[in-house]
Amino acid sequence: MSRLAGATSLWQRMVAMRLITAHKILIASAVAFFAFFAVFELRAFAATGSAGALASAALGLAAAVGFGVYLRTVFARGREPRV
């Protein structure tokens, strides 16, 4: 392998690593946002008794759980040896 090919390969691995790190950060932010949103809507439901607020809280909680499960799978893929 030439020196240039080796440098290109190293650069590609570094870019891929940064991209997956950014992806993990964004997904974790989505989990935090939707969890906060669910709590916010639950408080609105407690104050007003609105069925819309309860539905929004349930959907926010479902989104937080869904993104959390996805985040776990992304982290699990990082621990597997690459072929």
Compute CA 21 distance to the chain's CA centroid, rounded to the nearest angstrom: 11
The model scores a pTM over 0.95: no
Residue type, 75: F
Tens of pLDDT along 36-58?
999 999 999 999 999 999 999 99
How close are the terminal C-alpha atoms of the chain, in Å?
19
In total, the chain counts a number of residues equal to: 83
Q: How far is CA 83 from CA 14, 15, 24, 72, 80, in A?
A: 17, 18, 22, 21, 9
